[in-house]
Amino acid sequence: MVLLSSFVIVGNANALSLGSSDTCKVDYLSFQSGMIIDRYNSLGVRIFFEYQRDIKKNWQWGISYENSRHLGFAATDQPYELETNLSLFSLNGYYKLNVVKNRLFWTAGLGLGMVHAYWEKPLSYTFSEMEHHNIFGPVANVSLTLNVRITKRVYIEASPLVVVMPTNRVYFSTMDEEHFNNFFAFTFFPFGVKFRL
């Protein structure tokens, strides 16, 4: 937590220290939903929140939190699967790829943070009680999100190619669990709204 606070303070200090020749710094709040599929074959409903801030020209930084609740399984041919719920916290950097400046653009991003995966399953010797599992690990993410401005302060967010590429963020971690080496997760048909503050 101390390390995260240090990143936030440094980010704000860097943003404030930029020369006055740059455009004014703008803050955003982003809210997304949709689905997420993970390494354990779990399909979940996701809620995503992020604070973003312009740094200089087309660069931004952001702090995001994502949570998912297990809904079902993504495939039927998996020998092992877990009914996982996820919490993901990340510090992200973005670059804006403008098509129509500040009206239609993609944000390409990289981030680092932590992942918490948790689930329940019946105890093997009773099946009447639930066994709780929690695992934590470092996580990296790569993202590409389409932004479309609909009013002066409101943007719609979606996957970069909507139907052709129905994901906008992929997570990867080196944490292992039971029959699974490493961890990954990706969004599925994400959609959201972003507000300029």
Domain ranges of the chain: 28-196
Question: Quick check: 54 pLDDT over 90?
Answer: yes
**Alpha-carbon gap, residue 197 to 185, rounded angstroms:** 30
Q: Is 165 within 8 Å of 143 (Cβ atoms)?
A: no
CB-based burial label for 142 (10 Å; 0-12, 13-18, 19+): middle
For residue 8, give the amino acid letter.
V
Within 13 Å, how many C-alpha atoms sit on residue 180's CB side? 21
Adjacent-strand bridge partners of 58:
none
Q: Is 108 within 8 Å of 132 (Cβ atoms)?
A: no
CATH class, domain 28-196, is mainly beta
DSSP annotation of 24 reads P
Backbone angles phi, psi at 182, to 5 degrees: 65, 175
Within 13 Å, how many C-alpha atoms sit on residue 83's CB side? 10
What average pLDDT does the chain have? 85
For residue 89, give the amino acid letter.
F
Mean pLDDT of 18-39: 80
Mean pLDDT of 11-25: 47
The model's pLDDT over 62-81, given as tens digits with 9 standing for 90+, comes to 999 999 999 999 886 777 88
